[in-house]
Structure 1
Amino acid sequence: MSPMLVPILGISCGLLAIFGGVFVKPWFAYRHRRMELEAQMVAEKAAQYASRTEQLEQRVRVLERIATDRGIELADQIEQLRDGTVEPSRPLN
């Protein structure tokens, strides 16, 4: 081994450690934080879709009840549905 090889390797390892601490570590922290934020946004979107799906399911249930109801209140129920005055928990009958 060359006597100059040991100090060169020592300095190279030190520079590599400094480079890793100054540039690589913050870059990994940045990527980690970015992934966390993206995960939060995806979770919020999923919650919005779930909420909207529940609203649509409630509306379909109301429509099914109206479609199967043969009573004289059918026109009133359709108007209530159009006006948005039908509460999902309140039966139409």
Structure 2
Amino acid sequence: MEGYLALMIPIIAMMIPIVAIWTKHQQKLAEMQIGSTAEQTAEKAAQYATHIQRLEDRVQVLERIVTDRGYDIATQIEALRDQRRVDEGMGVPLGLEKKERV
């Protein structure tokens, strides 16, 4: 039994620095993971901010159309739809014909 105890003391003494090194390594890995997560969160926040800005811009256009007394709402909405079709390459808007050059 004494031989067993004499053998365990140096083994335990050598294990203490190994555990300390392993713990420090685990801490660094955790810090790296936190940094990565923070970066991903920042990217998603930027994407959401861009999306929200686009929605706010669209709402402002709609508010302007509704509150402007000089325009017919239905005509404005159709004009926006027609412009969207042209922008997306879907062809000529309804109500506009292609003019042939003479």
TM range (shorter): 0.5 to 0.7
**Larger C-alpha radius of gyration, 1 or 2?**
2
- Give the unaligned 5+ runs of structure 1: 86-93
Identity rate, percent: 43
SS at match of 1:71: coil
- RMSD over aligned Cα atoms: 2.7
Are residues 49 and 33 of structure 1, via their aligned partners in 2, closer, same or farther at CA, if it must alter by over 3 Å? same
How many equivalent residue pairs?
Answer: 79
Q: TM-score, normalised by structure 1?
A: 0.66
What's the CA shift string for 1:66-91, capped at 9, x where partnerless?
11123346444313433564xxxxxx
CA distance, structure 2, for counterparts of residue 69 and residue 47 of structure 1: 33
Match runs of 1:1-93 below 5 Å: 8=9, 12-21=12-21, 23-72=22-71, 74-83=73-82, 85=84
- Give the unaligned 5+ runs of structure 2: 85-102
CA distance, structure 2, for counterparts of residue 60 and residue 52 of structure 1: 13
What's the CA shift string for 1:8-40, capped at 9, x where partnerless?
4x864542122211x211111111111011001
